[in-house]
């Protein structure tokens, strides 16, 4: 299970970003544009996000980059099939999304043997011009850790 190192000082934020590194993945599909796009769209559904647009690009000779733009921010991916590695970014605003469910789904689809997840609060209240907007419902109730919260790398249950 996850082990989280965190600081005690917290402040409200506008959004949360999960910076994800998947290592030693089953790379059979890492160079399949349609498959990667469909998996990222499904991950957005797992997060309960509202999809606005989807843009993906296949590089020559290998590798894919793409983004699923959601009303609540975005999910992005960059694959390096030759290294069996994927870098993923899940940025969400508000309290209604489950970004961790999206990451868990992606880990099972990519069959990664190791992953690292770093959670960063974005838009700390004390740093915003004018403070938070009047609509407090749009503010994440998650709190930003003063020290970046890093979820220790873990071996997934999909090891063969």
Question: Where in the sequence numbering do the catalytic residues fall?
Answer: 73, 78, 93
* Residue 66: how many other CB atoms lie within 10 Å: 19
Q: How far apart are the first and last CA of the chain?
A: 18
User: In the numeric block, which tokens belong to residue 78?
Assistant: 């960059």
Quickly count helices (H) and strands (E) in the chain. 2, 9
| DSSP H stretches of helix in the chain | 33-46, 99-110
Q: Is 151 exposed, middle or buried (0-12, 13-18, 19+ CB in 10 A)?
A: buried
| Whether the Cβ atoms of residue 87 and residue 40 lie closer than 8 Å to each other | no
């Amino acid at each position: 299970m996850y082990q989280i190192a965190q600081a005690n000082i917290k402040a409200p934020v506008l959004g949360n970003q999960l910076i994800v590194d998947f290592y030693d993945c089953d790379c059979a599909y890492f160079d399949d544009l349609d498959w990667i796009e469909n998996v990222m769209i499904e991950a957005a559904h797992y997060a309960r996000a509202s999809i606005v647009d989807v843009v993906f690009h296949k590089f020559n000779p290998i590798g894919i980059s793409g983004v699923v733009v959601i009303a609540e921010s975005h999910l992005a991916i960059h694959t390096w099939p030759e290294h069996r590695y994927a870098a993923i970014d899940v940025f969400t605003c508000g309290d209604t999304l489950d970004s961790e469910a999206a990451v868990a789904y992606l880990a099972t689809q990519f069959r990664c043997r190791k992953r690292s997840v770093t959670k960063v609060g974005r838009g700390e209240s004390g740093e915003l011009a004018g403070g938070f907007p009047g609509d407090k419902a749009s503010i994440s109730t998650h709190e930003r850790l003063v020290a970046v919260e890093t979820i220790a790398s873990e071996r997934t249950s999909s090891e063969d």
